[in-house]
Structure 1
Amino acid sequence: LQPCASGSSIVGGKVSKPHSKPYMASLQYQEKHSCGGILIRKDFVLTALQNNATKNKYVKPLDLPKKAKSVSDKLKCLVAGWGKTGPSEPDSKVLKEGTERTLPITDCEKIWGDHFKSQQMICTTFNKKDGGICQGDSGGPLICKKKLQGITAFTASGHCDNTLYPHVFTNISYFLPWIKKMIYDYFS
């Protein structure tokens, strides 16, 4: 398993109750957390694992969206991960969670320009009390209205706690046909 792309960790927020996020995966490289993942089937984690997960009361997949649709603005969404707890802080030793709110696409386009592909991404912000993503949280979930909507993609390097820089998530519904094809091809 190779290291994951740099992305983010939870800044602020709170420690997740043990076993409350049974779909969370920690992808590790040389026995250290590299990035998060989302178990969507017992045999498939978004950001790849080779072996099946053993489903039990602590390990359960999170369903994919049923169909492609845009995510509305001002939705309160859950984020979780083991990444940094601040721009110059170490990775968390425990799973942490926070809350972010979706923003209009134009807010991300202004800041991120060509790095932001509007149909493929979701734009969010956070406040320090509720917590938000930072480096090391890449691959983790964005869950809005109890539905998986996005995968943590990136935030400003060294500025994950700066609300002037919106956080960016991959819009899962946009990639549903590709995800389903990958699963079908892998298991055919």
Structure 2
Amino acid sequence: MVHYSFLLLVISLAGGMESGIIGGKVAKPHSRPYMASIQINKHHTCGGMLIREDYVLTAAHCLNRSVFSSRDHFEVVLGAHNITKKEKSQYLSSEFHTPPVTQQLTPNTVYIMHFVLFKLLCYLQLKNKAKLSKFVKVMTFAKKNGKTPANIHCSIAGWGLKTPKGNQASDVMREVNLKLQFSTECKNKWQQYFNSERMICSISDGKHAFCMGDSGSPLICNTKPQGIASYTFNGDCTNKSYPQVYVKTSYFLPWIKKNIG
């Protein structure tokens, strides 16, 4: 069964599905082999994270099927640096159909069997396991549900706009460092839309931020994923008053383990 019980606010706040890492720099090619590019009609839409050979974790609203047409072509690309090229490192997984339809597939193509939404998170199950290599690797979670303190520096990556008002996504993966904000400050600003038990947030300095379409990308702190990018203020990604919000992965670990092991 597919669950749609996630915050509808996320879609309106995310400001659409265009991509964007604001500020930062070009990432070292294949330095983040767990990263996934979720694409619709060959267009990068959201980020994701490979958490098992046959599962990708992302933000729930990235695959809210009520937003897309049944004719849309869903794909997940692993092992990519430049998503406009067919790199030898890339592992293309899939079309997304419900139910799956039979068609001619390339040797490296597999179907996504289904996706499952759980409020703010979503995982994609691949029909076949991805072939792991130095370009495609699984990201492991921290063993314990520890606290993520404010003021530590974390990073996030994606394929996106270089400026908040740009209109062309980056061909190559970019990354940016961000500082976590106090949960009390996030709660003061977002009020009922922020749950400190399930969410964490970062504050933009006006120059560095994640932006629309980078939803689903993992926030990495001390080499481990601590959050999944979820929403920002009305598309104003570098707004210094409203913190950017992530789903706290540690809170959902029991749900992830229960469903996929």
Structure 2 match to 1:20: 31
Q: How many pairs were matched up? A: 180
User: How many angstroms apart in 2 are the aligned matches of 1:116 and 1:9?
Assistant: 22
> 1:27-176, aligned counterparts within 5 Å?
27-47=38-58, 48-50=124-126, 51-89=128-166, 90-127=168-205, 131-176=208-253
CA contact (8 A) 2:206 2:239 kept: no
Per the normalisation by structure 1, the TM-score is 0.88
CA contact (8 A) 2:145 2:251 kept: yes
User: How many angstroms apart in 2 are the aligned matches of 1:92 and 1:156?
Assistant: 22
User: How many angstroms apart in 2 are the aligned matches of 1:19 and 1:71?
Assistant: 26
User: How many angstroms apart in 1 are the aligned matches of 2:31 and 2:233?
Assistant: 29
CA contact (8 A) 2:149 2:180 kept: yes
Which deviates the most, 112-121 or 47-56?
47-56
Which deviates the most, 77-86 or 17-26?
77-86
Unmatched 5+ stretches in structure 1: none
Shift of 1:106: 1.2
Match of 2:32, as an amino acid?
K
User: How many angstroms apart in 2 are the aligned matches of 1:49 and 1:10?
Assistant: 26
Which deviates the most, 110-119 or 84-93?
84-93
Shift of 1:87: 2.9
User: How many angstroms apart in 2 are the aligned matches of 1:53 and 1:100?
Assistant: 30
Shift of 1:64: 1.1
Shift of 1:49: 4.7
Shift of 1:169: 0.6
User: How many angstroms apart in 1 are the aligned matches of 2:211 and 2:34?
Assistant: 20
Which deviates the most, 61-70 or 95-104?
61-70
Structure 2 match to 1:9: 20
Shift of 1:127: 3.0
User: How many angstroms apart in 2 are the aligned matches of 1:78 and 1:44?
Assistant: 22
What percent identity do the matched residue pairs reach?
Answer: 46
User: How many angstroms apart in 2 are the aligned matches of 1:49 and 1:126?
Assistant: 33
Which deviates the most, 82-91 or 132-141?
82-91
Residue-by-residue CA offset, 1:58-116 (whole Å, 9 max, x unaligned): 11111112122221111100111113333322322211100111111011112211111
Unmatched 5+ stretches in structure 2: 1-9, 59-123
Match of 1:57, as an amino acid?
K
Match of 2:172, as an amino acid?
V
